[in-house]
Structure 1
């Protein structure tokens, strides 16, 4: 078990390091002078040189990379050009919106997909199975930003149950509160969850059907267990390896997909932050946000590997040899 965990940790660290090199190199290869863009076309050579010195652009690329990585390891991040604020503070503020949004969307996805996946597997080739699979195909075809607009038209414009956009905050002192915050994130979470639910439902159905043909299912039924007990207590756990794989990918995708949805609903999350940073050519913010998102996705995958070992002990045994 310890060797399994250490291998995963080593893989996580190496992947994170390679990602940092790639992110830094890609931003270095972007055309144009960041100092020139910030100051405008009318800037003098002296002011451009001063801005390059402030941004550290006059130093070798290797020195800037080591300074960036070293700062992150010490808990120090760069200063945003547009906001004149440390990027860590900006990202911490925006993640208070993006992370709850992704968790809500993932929660909706998991609950709906597991229930629908088991239901369709139990009703294979019957009317319920065909109906759910048809709806899932529709869910795959509908872009989440278009669904978001439809949800706004229905629930905000016509029914007037929720606001069309914006976020009141989690604190009552700011005019918001927990319930108001959840209410503001409900429609964006539904828009994000629709496509992911369709995908996960199909994966769950396929994995459950594969396991229903196994010998242990016949043994469980021979012991007198009901069809529901076999599905929930035996088949589902054995089918969870491919399902959890997709869940991990989906949660990372939900965080990154928030860039579009947050702009549709005007939510002050990490998506709007990186969108505004790109528009302002605030490369310090872009670099740190991209690195944060990449690290989150890799961290999720690391925990998925740990879940694999918990669900299927054979994986631990195989790595221990």
Structure 2
């Protein structure tokens, strides 16, 4: 039963990726303008533009370009970036060294803050602590990421001078960076990404925990002498994780895509800044491959969330397979 559940989810993943690739390619094909003319400038001759179009494969039919693109992605042989004259796979891999740790750090901060605050608010339902957490979460959801990022820079970089206002030193000590310096450079961007996500996740956690706390088995556990803390963390939280995990999966995918704005505020050389620069240069090869990567990340995370569902509550897999 579980294997059938996994096969269905895997088939859905592959179909979604295929549809996403068609949509991404079609949308970029409909964009006005000519990439070759942008690269060569307004003074380029028609012959030079035609030669560059032939080198980039822009003179071929759309279907041929699509199959060539998908084949390159599947074989790991991606196209050359127009602006950087480098395979897009190398460019994206370099930028992921910043974006992926940033998203993971932001997700870790989100999870720690949201689960703690959500359970605390549920345990103090309709008391001062609950009201305070809900009010703070409402404010957190109303704050734009880029505005909160600017506030963090003004406070911790400009006034207190505890952090740099932007830039990334790298992960290698020999090049002036290192693990501590790299994490320090990502802390403020991660906080600016995590504040909204933590606010939303805390509210969902509180609601899910309150719903589970009304179940009969919770009252039975309390009647057997288990402390309120033990019941909350050992029994209630696990059974309340289904909606929480759902939102966490969506949030992690959103953190990767939201990094486009935050990376530009903090001048971080990540995937978000790469997309911004590629759009400015009309480097559609980079835009296409990066957007496809982000779409694949969202689909893959949803697939992993489904697997986590089956681990949290094995009854869900047979139910889906039935």
TM-score under structure 2 normalisation? Answer: 0.99
CA deviation map 1:173-196 (0-9, x unaligned): 110000000000000000000000
> Equivalent residue for 1:290?
291
CA deviation map 1:195-251 (0-9, x unaligned): 000000000000001111111111111221111111111110110000000000000
CA drift of 1:115 comes to: 0.5
> Equivalent residue for 2:146?
145
Flag structure 1 segments of 5+ consecutive residues without an equivalent.
Answer: none
Measure the CA separation in 2 of the matches of 1:98 and 1:39: 31
What is the SS of the residue equivalent to 2:315? helix
**1:1-321 alignment to 2 at 5 Å?**
1-321=2-322
Measure the CA separation in 1 of the matches of 2:91 and 2:208: 41
Flag structure 2 segments of 5+ consecutive residues without an equivalent.
Answer: none
CA drift of 1:129 comes to: 0.6
Measure the CA separation in 1 of the matches of 2:142 and 2:219: 37
CA drift of 1:156 comes to: 0.6
TM-score under structure 1 normalisation? Answer: 0.99
Higher alpha-carbon deviation: 216-225 or 93-102: 216-225
What is the SS of the residue equivalent to 2:169? coil
Measure the CA separation in 2 of the matches of 1:240 and 1:80: 43
CA deviation map 1:68-93 (0-9, x unaligned): 00011111101000000000000000
CA drift of 1:172 comes to: 0.5
Measure the CA separation in 2 of the matches of 1:152 and 1:60: 48
Measure the CA separation in 2 of the matches of 1:34 and 1:235: 56
CA drift of 1:319 comes to: 2.7
Measure the CA separation in 2 of the matches of 1:228 and 1:216: 15
RMSD: 0.7
Measure the CA separation in 1 of the matches of 2:137 and 2:14: 37
Measure the CA separation in 1 of the matches of 2:44 and 2:67: 30
CA deviation map 1:45-102 (0-9, x unaligned): 1011101101111111000000000011111101000000000000000000000000
Measure the CA separation in 2 of the matches of 1:88 and 1:192: 26
CA drift of 1:320 comes to: 3.5
CA drift of 1:36 comes to: 1.5
Question: How many residues get paired?
Answer: 321
